[in-house]
Amino acid sequence: MSRTGPRLDAKKVNSELFTLTYGALVTQLLKDYENVEDVNKQLERMGYNMGIRLIEDFLARTGSGRCYDFRDTAEKIQSGFKIFLGITPTITNWSPAGDAFSLCFETNPLTEFVELPDHCLNLKYCNILTGVLRGACEMVQMEVASWFVQDQLKNDSVTELRVKYVKRLEDAIPAGED
């Protein structure tokens, strides 16, 4: 069959498919809900559902065991971003107690091709990520909270996601595990 153009790069197309699909979803949510806060909440919930499944992919691919401490967790989360989004956020701003850190993103595939219109200033466009982290960590008996401190879409120079350790979920360990 004759070609009329350059070959398409499957990885790149897939990535754009994800980015554009996410964009279409956010647009649909903004259409469905009047309140931007509700959109943020819905994105977080969807992220949670994705996170509880993604953790299985992550563990299967990396073969990593339990985390020794929260610093170890931070590095694993970083490698998770590398595997799934192809980016390496930097880990910075550790709290003195070592229970909170920031992930700084220079680039973010989710926000490629995106500009926020003025009436969406309260929209946390990437809020799905906070849900993914919460869901994934919950599956390994850890409760974390995360939120955006800086956002490139709101003219900050980087996107900064703050992650805080809340508590260890003891009850969720199945019998016979320890």
> Contact positions toward another protein, by CB under 8 A?
1, 4-25, 27-28, 32, 42, 46, 49-50, 53-54, 57, 60-62, 82-88, 107-109, 112-113
φ/ψ of residue 46, rounded to 5 = -65, -40
Q: What is the DSSP letter of 96?
A: T
Shortest CB 177 distance to another protein, Å: 25
- Residue 130's alpha-carbon distances to 26, 45, 160, in angstroms, are 15, 9, 12
Question: Measured between alpha carbons, how far is 125 from 128 in angstroms, rounded to an integer?
Answer: 8
Helical segments of the chain, H only: 10-32, 36-62, 70-85, 128-138
In the numeric block, the tokens 């994934």 are attached to 136
The enclosing H or E element of 164 equals strand 159-168
Shortest CB 28 distance to another protein, Å: 6
Shortest CB 8 distance to another protein, Å: 4
Shortest CB 52 distance to another protein, Å: 10
64-86: b or e for each residue (b if 16 or more CB lie within 10 Å)?
eeebeebeebbebbbebbeebbe
Shortest CB 14 distance to another protein, Å: 5
